[in-house]
Each structure stands twice: as structure tokens, then as C-alpha cells.
């Protein structure tokens, strides 16, 4: 932990079922998404002032999928499963802190 009590990093497992979405949000730290199981996951990332780009997490490397992706600090991000469910993990460094989390309005899209 640093002098403010913030952890060096944190990790969560995150299960997204069909129809669920990790809505547009950003954090004040680097976030690495790790694919574990299930259908591929579509991860959209948008840096401030830029439109989103899409990365598909999965293990079909021939189809261009990748097992992990890094979201820069303060970049907007959103994700959803392409099938019945997807299990991923998210590592945040320095550790996740709700004070550094911003959730966009439900209908918001980056430009």
C-alpha cells in the first residue's frame, strides 16, 4: 500500500451473462482485462476525445482474439459477452478505488 492506503493492485473476477454489459466507465489507473472462459468478450476502449476501438478477448488467435487487453488510465471502457456468458478478470494498478471511478450515463457513447 502507498502512503494513502491504496493497494499496489487489485484483481476481480467478472462474469458477464448474455444481455449484460459493463457500461461505459473509466478509472484513474491502468486496467488489464484477462480472458478465462466462455464466449469471447468485446471490449471497447476510448481515450478522451477519440472514438472507441474494439478488442475481442478470447483464445481464437487465428480470428484475431487475444487473451488480455490493457486499458490506459482515464480511458473510457465498456464490455459485453458475445455468447451465453464470459468469465474475465480485471487487474487494476494502482489498486481500484471508488474515488477514481466514473460511470457514464446509461445512453452515453464516446464520440
* Sole residue written with cell 480470428: 63
Query: Does the structure show a pLDDT above 90 at 9?
Result: yes
Cell of 106: 446509461
Q: Percent of the chain beyond pLDDT 90?
A: 90
Strand partners, 77: 25, 45
pLDDT, residue 49, reads 87
Q: Percent of the chain beyond pLDDT 70?
A: 100
* Reported pTM: 0.93
User: What's the CA angle centered on 78, arms 96 and 41, to 5 degrees?
Assistant: 105
* Strand-strand pairing, 68-71 and 10-17: unpaired
Residue extents of the structural domains in the chain: 10-97
The CATH architecture annotation of domain 10-97 reads Sandwich (2.60)
Cell of 99: 474515488
Amino acid at each position: 500500500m502507498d502512503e494513502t492506503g491504496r493497494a499496489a493492485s487489485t484483481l476481480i473476477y467478472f462474469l458477464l451473462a448474455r444481455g449484460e454489459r459493463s457500461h461505459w466507465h473509466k478509472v484513474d489507473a491502468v486496467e488489464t482485462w484477462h480472458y478465462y472462459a466462455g464466449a469471447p468478450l468485446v471490449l471497447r476502449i476510448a481515450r478522451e476525445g477519440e472514438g472507441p476501438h474494439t478488442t475481442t478477448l478470447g483464445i481464437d488467435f487465428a480470428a484475431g482474439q487475444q487473451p488480455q487487453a490493457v486499458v490506459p488510465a482515464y480511458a473510457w471502457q465498456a464490455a459485453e459477452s458475445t455468447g451465453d456468458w464470459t468469465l474475465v478478470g480485471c487487474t487494476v494498478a494502482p489498486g481500484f478505488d471508488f474515488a477514481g471511478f466514473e460511470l457514464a450515463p446509461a445512453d452515453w457513447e464516446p464520440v
